[in-house]
Every structure is written in structure tokens, then in C-alpha cells.
Chains A and B, each alone.
Chain A
Amino acid sequence: MTGFLVASGLAHAADVPDGARQTELLYLLKHDCGSCHGMTLKGGLGPALTPEALAGKQVSFLSRTILEGRPGTPMPPWGRMISEPEATWLAKMLLKGGIRAR
């Protein structure tokens, strides 16, 4: 059961994770990030991560947040598990709404 659809055409840069890794990252996003941000990314203890909620945020800000966490909040640094290009890919996906609940 996949809960997310990946919009095609987003993945074009050189540093983009391969298909299998993309599936892993989206699973992680839904189920593990989803513990705090909600499985549909509409928020929970952590804020909503829908394109509307993230409007105006920079890709670099979001990928840094993923990699380094947010001190003073429960957001942990994911840099041990997610590489910089992967975080950038995730940030772009979130911003463009390339990930959405089915």
C-alpha cells in the first residue's frame, strides 16, 4: 500500500537519489517523519509540511532543517541517515507538492 504518488518530471538534477532510494525516503517521510508531522503531513506535534504550509520557504532552509534538525524543538538531525542531495530532493518534493496523500 503506497500512500504517496510521486509526480514525474521532478527528478532531473544530477544528484538525485535513484528510484529504490526514493521509495525508501518517501516511506521514511510517511511513517517516521509522519510520527510528528502526520502521515498526511498535515501536522502533529511538528508543523504541517504541505506545500501550502511551506510556501515561501527556501529549499536550502528545508534541507538544512532535515539534516541538522531544529535546536529548541523536537526536530532531530537526520544527517546520519539522509545525505545532502537526498535532503535537497526531499525539500524540493515537499515544496512542489510532488508528494501528496492518495
Chain B
Amino acid sequence: MRDSRRQWRYSLVAFAIGMLPAACIGSPASGQDAGSLGMIVERAAGRVLVVDTRKRTELAAIGGLGDLSHASVVYSPDQRFAFVFGRDGGLTKVDMLRRRIAARVMQAGNSIGGAISKDGRWVAVSNYKPGGVRIFSARTLEPVADIPAVYGDGRRSKVVGLVDAPGQRFVFSLYDAGEIWVVEFGDPARPVIRKFRNIGRQPYDALITPDGRYYIAGLFGEDGLALLDLERLDAGVRRILDHYGRGRRALPVYKMPHLEGWAQAGDYLFVPAVGAYEVLVLDRRDWRQVGRIPVHGQPVFVMARPDGRQVWVNFAHPRNDTVQVIDVATRRIIRELSPGKAVLHMEFTPKGEQVWISVRDDDRVDVYDTASFERLARLPADKPSGIFFSSRAYKIGL
């Protein structure tokens, strides 16, 4: 058995040989490591920016990724490759160190995000058109499995809320059908599908708790959330927070909340209300609502700082020029920031000392210190939307 030091050297050499065509860019000698990288989506330009999250600088712009409205990104387990899911069905694998497209396929007509398996071998994409999930080899992007979201009399549903779950599983929701499907793909060519029907009307997005145990779908068509315990599938889907949702005097929702950003802080979950200017607080031990925090507008992303002491919230059009910070201990708003017009997304550095905020209409990304709330940097970006750091590679469901 080789000692670990030699093994490390061996990998370094193999890596350096692999890097030869890229000259020095991104080679270990330049001090660049994949762990401090991130990606900013320029939604209108079809381009992504590779950034260094420590130096707070842009390293490269990579174009030709198609329609990136609502694009999202997952990372390979070694953080080297980013998989970008475009709106137009494009799936692009980007080499973060060589800073170029490694592979790209047009896999559907209209898509809404995806997931990568825990072992990093499979990438799944959720599609609106044709409705379903397609699974690809993460190495080559060759198709491995096609799972049409067929329901009722043979119609196909749009698929939302696709996540990877413990035990080689992908979980997703069928928007038109009101179903949750759990797919086991121990043998990816023969996926085993378990379907949960009548979970509620119009599940529009979903999340998996950071421990990978619970899958929760938000319902647009009725009040409440659909909860599936992934350790106890036989118990089925149950409804929680029955009064959550549109309510009788609901306000119009000009942008759908995103559940991926739901914040878990200790035993509490902070979730965006739908049709109300509130963040709701749930006790995740019994799934009961224990509080509501009035906020500036319809919340879109409600995100916990990695240490769980702060929750940052942005808002839907037309109140989307503001970010509010909730102190978890007191459940009070302790800060209100006005980064600029159309704040679309926020991303924390892995330990949470900084947050990056995309300001679409002002064409820039601002970096704030989360303790002093001072602005540390400002990066130009063309209509920036999602920001995705490579530390997501180590998080369940991201």
C-alpha cells in the first residue's frame, strides 16, 4: 500500500499532465484550488462567470450556454466540474479549473434545474417539456435513463423540486399531476420508481432538509405543504401547515418563492409565506408553526447563514430592491439593506462570513460582510441571477 503522501504526489502529477494544454491557468502551482471557486449566472447573456470567493474577483467568463433564465448549478464531488441547467433544456458541464465548457447537450425543450448523485456519477435534469426527468453520465453527459412524468390518461406533467436523497435516490414533484416520485437508481438503466399520488394541487418547488431525511413540497393550488419522510416511505405523504399558503386575503405573488433556500436554524425552519409579507417559523420536531415574522414583501429566498444565527431574505417584484436580515435568537429583523434594483439571489461563503448578492437591474454582484454589514466588494455582471459556490458539492440536496 502506498502511503498517502505518495498517493498525493501521484495525483498531483496526473493532474498536472491533464492540465498541460491549459498552460498555467488553474494549475495547482498558481495557488488556485477548486474549493474557493464559484459561479455567477448571467441569465440574459447565456454566460457564466467563474469567481474566486476568497479574493472576490472574476477569473473568467464562459459563454455559449443558451437561455439561462432560472438556471441553476450543481458541482461534482471534487468541486472541479459545474453542471449548469439552462431553461432551454441545455445541460452544460463546465471545467472550473480550465475554465471552459467540458461537455454540453440539449436534452429537452424546457427545463428547471437538476441534481447530482452522491457518488457524482449521475446527473438528473427535471424537465417541463417534455415533462419528466432524464439522467446522464456525469463524465460524458451521455443519456442513461429517461423517466417520463406520465399521469392520469397518459398526459405528461412538468417536473419541479428535483433533489438527490440518501441511498442513490432522486426525488421530485409533478406540478400538473400533484404527485411526488422517488426514484431508486442502484442500476441506473433500470430505475425503480415509487409514486405518491394526491399530495396536493400544484406542487411548485420542493426542498430536502440538510440532513437528507425529509422532502417537502410547497403547494401553490391549495394551502399547506406536502411532507415525505424518506426514512419511512411507507408512512406516505402527510400534510403540514394546513393554513400555510394562499389564504383568503392572499396578496398577489409576482414571483414564486424558491424552496431550495429554505432555512434550517437549529430546530427551526424559516419558510417564505405565499401571498403574505411574512416569514413563517416551523418547529421541525412536530412541524407546527411557532411564529411569523412580518417582512418587507413577498419573500423569495429565505436563507440561513451557515452558522444558523442569521436568516437573510429577499423579495418578489416590485419590492425586490431590499434585503432583510433576521436574527434567529430573537426572530427580529436586525438589518435592512438596499443593494439595488432587482435582488435575485444570495449565496453565503462556506462559513458564512460573507454573502454575495446579485442585483440584476444594476448589473452587479455585491459582497457583504455578514457581521458588520459593510460592503466588501462589487463585481460587474450582466443581469446576474443565481450565485453558486463550489462548497455546494458537500451539501445534501444542493
Contacts and interface: CB of A to CB of B under 8 A. Distances in A.
A1 B360 contact: no
Interface residues on B, range: 20 to 34
A93 to B, nearest CB: 19
Nearest to B42: A1
A3 B69 CA distance: 13
A54 interface: no
B110 A34 contact: no
A45 B204 contact: yes
Given A31-B383, A34-B69, A39 B252 contact: no
B128 A35 contact: no
B268 interface: no
Interface stretch (A13-21, A55-63, A71-79, A83-91): A71-79
B313 interface: no
A41 B158 CA distance: 17
A30 to B, nearest CB: 8
A45 B256 contact: yes
Contact of B88 (A3, A42, A45, A69): A42
B256 A39 contact: no
Given A43-B110, A74-B220, A38 B67 contact: yes
Interface string B362-398: 0000000000000000000011000000000000000
Interface residues of A, number: 23
A76 B204 contact: no
Contacts of B252: 69, 76-77, 80
A40 interface: yes
Contacts of B221: 72
Nearest to B110: A43
B256 A81 contact: no
B340 to A, nearest CB: 14
Nearest to B253: A76
Contacts of B112: 44-45
Given A31-B360, A32-B255, A44 B128 contact: yes
Q: Is the interface of B mostly helix, strand, loop or mixed?
A: loop
Contacts of A34: 69
A35 B204 contact: no
B45 A44 contact: no
Nearest to A35: B255
A16 B256 CA distance: 30
Interface in A19-54: 30-32, 34-36, 38-40, 42-45
Given A32-B317, A38-B69, A38-B87, A44 B255 contact: no
B158 A45 contact: yes
Contacts of A77: 252
A39 B128 contact: no
A36 B256 contact: yes
Interface of B: 43-45, 67, 69-70, 87-88, 109-110, 112, 128-129, 158, 160, 175, 202, 204, 220-221, 252-256, 317-318, 342, 360-361, 382-383
Interface of A: 1, 3, 30-32, 34-36, 38-40, 42-45, 69, 72, 74, 76-78, 80-81
17 contacts: A1-B382, A30-B44, A31-B342, A31-B383, A34-B69, A35-B255, A38-B69, A38-B110, A39-B44, A39-B67, A39-B87, A42-B67, A42-B109, A43-B129, A45-B158, A74-B220, A80-B252
